[in-house]
Chain A
């Protein structure tokens, strides 16, 4: 199992990680080893085996739909890279 240069670039884009051409090539080598390791799973017959998403087969707990958090906007925005008037500032996305 190997992965192509173009695939790496596509995945990196999906993951929102900028990657240089050289980094993409270096990554192919390391990912291939890991993907080969993962290929071992194919040998196993899993027909009729249900998937297990948690360590214990428990269902998601529900809670009352009530407000439990108080407004801490100033405290939480103190650690933001850029805020203005209580808003997080990002580059313009709408013309």
Chain B
């Protein structure tokens, strides 16, 4: 049962061949067995999950079920879920029981999906290896000595080890796509503004976007159908026409124009990864796609721009953690200032403090124009690059990450090397474009992801393009040894 897709689970539930309680119990057993080693979940609450499953079964019994009613999924611990511990991977929120639901969580609850638990993540989503979590590093189920990627590494490891069929994730600079790539999964970061950020703990508000992660494009489409939609509670939510992302997923893709940016195949890309990406492109040619060369000349600037803008926004967003209204408060202090600064010294981990300091620095008097304003201007140039490229093609393809999963502790002491992990993913966040990663093969038994970048609100086409590849290949069906109970 644990290897079933969301689509299969949905129809089995609809046909009453199984119950939500049965499926949920099975996944909870899987979590109990595997999580001590993988550490993909921060919080599991069997009683809350089973209670939701029972309600779902009642709905199905009455014929009131929706497509995802009774299907269990996991929630990244960045989403507030009422009555659930919601930590964002930080000591600062180690005791934070969310008093309300994030819109994403609310939508899944209304759809009748069951929450299997809260998945581990880099602290405040700052990291590319899931090693910065206060609740311990997550291991890659394909090789336990390696990282699962980050920041949605818990969601990725949970799906890869078949502890859940799908999970929510968030992506500020690659945090859905890179772990999906490193764990052999399908993950989609939608257009900025498509999925509500309400109740999703903020890192860099102009870049943060939630999306689905699952085994296949079809499953991601089913999840996106629930997640997407205008929300008045998110001031940057975009009022886009509601779509059914599964509707055109079976369409042939003959005539599709794929743009290959030469900058995504330049120095820094692992040779074996490059070969698999080329093989995937050849597969697309067989499916009737044509290839055009495009250029994204400012790609290399996306990293410096991101490491000005994201920390600047983070330094502002994270100023709310002051030990007054919720979360950690230091035990001994002399006065208010002492309470603030000790609380924040103790509550934040190294990487988070580093980014708050960078953000504070680039926004401080005398540096604003040289750093923050400059970065925003270059952000505009990066966005224009994509605009020009999309005049020549329908989708852009390339690698998701420059290499396969790296060893734990390999890059954690060298932030700059770690940041380069996101070289192919960051630019889409800066431009607000949707990006996706799908499995494209293996190098030394480690998964490689193909990235698909689409134009604004072109998620339906991207999911279609990904699904056609998955009909012709089996990479997305592979699972790590011992993944099944």
Mark A residues whose CB is within 8 Å of B: 3, 7-8, 11-19, 27, 30-31, 33-42, 44, 46, 49-56, 58, 60-61, 63, 72, 75-82, 88, 90-93
Contact = CB atoms under 8 A, between A and B. Distances in A.
Contacts of B305: 41
Contacts of A75: 99
B337 A72 contact: no
Contacts of A51: 373, 376-377, 379-380
A53 B376 contact: yes
A69 B97 CA distance: 20
Interface of B: 95-97, 99, 191-193, 206-207, 232, 235-236, 238, 298, 300-301, 303-305, 307-308, 315, 319, 322-327, 329, 333-342, 344-345, 348, 353-354, 356-358, 360-362, 364, 370-371, 373-381, 383, 414-416, 419, 429-433, 456
B364 A18 contact: no
A6 to B, nearest CB: 13
A81 B324 CA distance: 7
A88 to B, nearest CB: 5
A76 B99 contact: yes
B415 A16 contact: no
A17 to B, nearest CB: 5
A91 B339 contact: yes
Given A56-B192, A72-B99, A79 B375 contact: no
B354 A16 contact: no
Contacts of B344: 15-18
A91 B336 contact: yes
B375 A49 contact: no
B355 to A, nearest CB: 9
Nearest to B346: A18
A17 B357 contact: yes
17 contacts: A11-B357, A15-B319, A30-B415, A31-B354, A31-B361, A34-B416, A36-B416, A37-B304, A37-B307, A38-B371, A44-B298, A51-B379, A53-B206, A53-B376, A55-B207, A55-B383, A56-B191
B364 to A, nearest CB: 6
A51 B357 CA distance: 23
Contacts of B193: 55-56, 58
A13 B342 CA distance: 11
B269 to A, nearest CB: 19
Given A41-B301, A51-B376, 17 more contacts: A3-B361, A17-B353, A18-B338, A27-B354, A34-B419, A37-B307, A39-B304, A41-B304, A42-B374, A49-B381, A52-B376, A55-B429, A58-B193, A60-B235, A78-B99, A88-B325, A91-B333
Contact of B381 (A17, A27, A44): A44
A27 to B, nearest CB: 7
A86 to B, nearest CB: 13
Nearest to B237: A61
A49 B380 contact: yes
Most chain A C-beta atoms within 10 Å of own C-beta, residue among B97, B191, B236, B456: B236
Most chain A C-beta atoms within 10 Å of own C-beta, residue among B238, B338, B361, B419: B361
Most chain A C-beta atoms within 10 Å of own C-beta, residue among B301, B335, B354, B357: B357
A55 B377 contact: no
